Amino acid sequence: MAVPTTAMAENREQHPAEPAARDRVVVAGLGRAGLDYACAFAMHPAAEVVGFVEPRGDLRRFVRGVGFAAPMEPSLGRWLEKRAADTLVVCSPAAEAADLVEQGVTAGLAVLVHGLASMPRETADRIEAAMASSGRPVAAGAAVLFQPTFARARRTGALSADHVQQVRASASVSRVFSPLAQPSRDVLDFLLADLLLLLDASFGPIVSVGAKGQRLYGDWLDECQMDARFASGLTAKVEASWSVPDYPGTAMVIEGSGPEGRIIVSDDALEMDMASLQGRVVAASEPTLARFEGGDSPTVVEGWQRMLAGDPVCAEALSAPRALRVSRVVDAVRQSIAADGSEREVVS
């Protein structure tokens, strides 16, 4: 489980962003993501975990064994009948996510949805409809837009259509499978959605895709290659795959070139070689690194609390409309792969 580091706590002291009252949080879905979020919210000074929702009794017992004493119920409706909250964190499987978001919005809760960018089209449509009637914030629980070097590249304007005319992007992560332990989700869910969030934030919406994929370990996609066209006319070649064993974590790279020169940005460093933008920045030099290295869930929780306090940068990084756009791009990628690479429009 990811937990906040000492450096993260010091960063919070230097840059306080706490609401006037503590954010009362109920977490729905007690798999790994839900437990990570519960730990991150429990350790944030502006928040308090007041309850859990999980239909599986074994997971409820496990979270109780971890040390949480907050009330638990098998359904959100039963939990809300007896208690009050401010924020609902949805970490349930996609099949249950839309129902939870709808119930949370109806109850007047702010809602944070984990994995929104990779939700199936039907789920995304229902969540978007629920958002339209919500008077409280609804956000996507994705940490990738807080990643220090990518954030710096966007702030400088280097990673934008103003400086770039050709784009190549890739994402990989080490996974080793056996016939008895195959992945339960595919490379589009684990990697492509996050990479597409970065591309959308940098270059705008993607309007069409052509893609092919390979299945190496079972029924799930293990590799994907796609051509993407943005609304601006910019095009990009994008790849996502399981990497070779022993790489320590996810690796993302975006390379852009244009008349002024070239930019390369990865998880580790940003290199700009353009007429108006020069220099090299490593992730370790960025002041936001400590917060990000605490893990995805603590990063999102910190951003969520700052968003509730009125920080527009964090609101933009956790944008639910962007995540919903990306979910439709992923859907179009799946359609294109099924049609042997033929181009598919991204339905808005």
Q: What domains can you pick out in the chain, each with its CATH number? A: 6-143 (3.40.50.720), 145-289+318-345 (3.30.360.10)
d(CA 296, CA 27): 16
What DSSP string runs through 64-106? HHHT--S-EESSHHHHHHH---SEEEE-S-HHHHHHHHHHHHH
Q: Which residues contact 266 (CB under 8 A, 6 or more apart)?
A: 149, 251, 252, 253, 254
Whether 186 and 221 have beta carbons less than 8 Å apart is answered as yes
Q: Which residues contact 149 (CB under 8 A, 6 or more apart)?
A: 265, 266, 267, 268, 269, 270, 281, 282, 283, 286
* For residue 321, pLDDT beyond 90: yes
Q: How many CB atoms lie within 10 A of CB 193?
A: 24
Whether 124 and 97 have beta carbons less than 8 Å apart is answered as no
Give the pLDDT score at 190.
66
Mean pLDDT confidence for 210-227:
83
d(CA 68, CA 27): 12
Give the pLDDT score at 183.
52
Highest mean pLDDT among 7-11, 25-29, 270-274: 25-29
pLDDT (tens digit per residue) in 161-208 = 888 889 999 988 765 555 455 555 676 776 789 999 999 999 999 999
Residue 35 is encoded by which pair of tokens?
């437990």
More confident residue, 222 or 238: 238
Task: Give the pTM.
Answer: 0.87
Give the pLDDT score at 248.
55
d(CA 249, CA 267): 10
- Long-range Cβ pairs for the range 106-109 (8 Å, 24+): 107/80, 108/135, 108/136, 109/26, 109/85, 109/136
Mean pLDDT confidence for 303-319:
96
Q: Which helix (H) or strand (E) holds 138?
A: strand 138-141
d(CA 42, CA 167): 40
Mean pLDDT confidence for 101-107:
97
Give the pLDDT score at 87.
98
How would residue 292 be classed by pLDDT, with cut points 50, 70 and 90? low
DSSP 51: E
* For residue 55, pLDDT beyond 70: yes
Whether 170 and 240 have beta carbons less than 8 Å apart is answered as yes
More confident residue, 178 or 291: 291
Helix, strand, or coil here: 206?
strand
Give the pLDDT score at 267.
86
Give Cα 288 distance to the centre of its chain.
17
More confident residue, 177 or 225: 225
d(CA 46, CA 255): 38
Q: Which residue has the tokens 């033929």?
A: 342
